[in-house]
Amino acid sequence: MLKRLILGGLAAWTACAFLVELNHTVAAWDGREHVDPAWGWRFETPETGALSRSLDVARKAIPPGAAIAFTAPDDPPGAELVASRWAAYLMPDRDVLSVNDPEAGQIAQYAIGFRKEIRHPRAELMLRLPDGWLYRVKRP
């Protein structure tokens, strides 16, 4: 009796695991699986490579310790936050803030638009980056 119970439980567990895996496979195949916005933002990916190239050029024009407002496209939702955190990681000697930060308009001296132009009266274009734009923020 115990042997049959153990074999039945093992068969049920195997069938359940098979169905879960089958569901993941079909969801990935037909596009129902949700994509994590941060998935492309890993080391040695095209996104981080493009951002690194742009920030290398910007770093030469921005003095250490400067406050920088940063923005990027938010597609898929949440990607802008991940990109701004990568910018902060890649520029540790500068203060990188999101453009959406309430204090960014008051303390930012420069602004970087990564793959997204900034259209604001206080943003004065300084330099075209490989994958973006560098702006000087004019004081009111």
Total Cβ atoms within 10 A of residue 49 = 12
- pTM, full prediction: 0.71
- Measured over the CA atoms of residue 99, residue 124, residue 130 and residue 93, the dihedral's sign is negative
Task: Over range 29-58, report the average pLDDT.
Answer: 78
In the structure encoding, which two tokens stand for residue 62, read together? 């921005």
Q: Check residue 86 and give its pLDDT.
A: 95
Q: Check residue 7 and give its pLDDT.
A: 84
The answer to whether the beta carbons of residues 116 and 87 sit under 8 Å apart is: no
Total Cβ atoms within 10 A of residue 107 = 14
How far is Cα 114 from Cα 83, in angstroms, rounded to an integer?
9
Better-scored residue on pLDDT, 27 or 36:
27
Listed by start position, the domains of the chain span: 1-33, 46-137
Instruction: Give 77's pLDDT tier (boundaries 50, 70, 90).
Output: confident
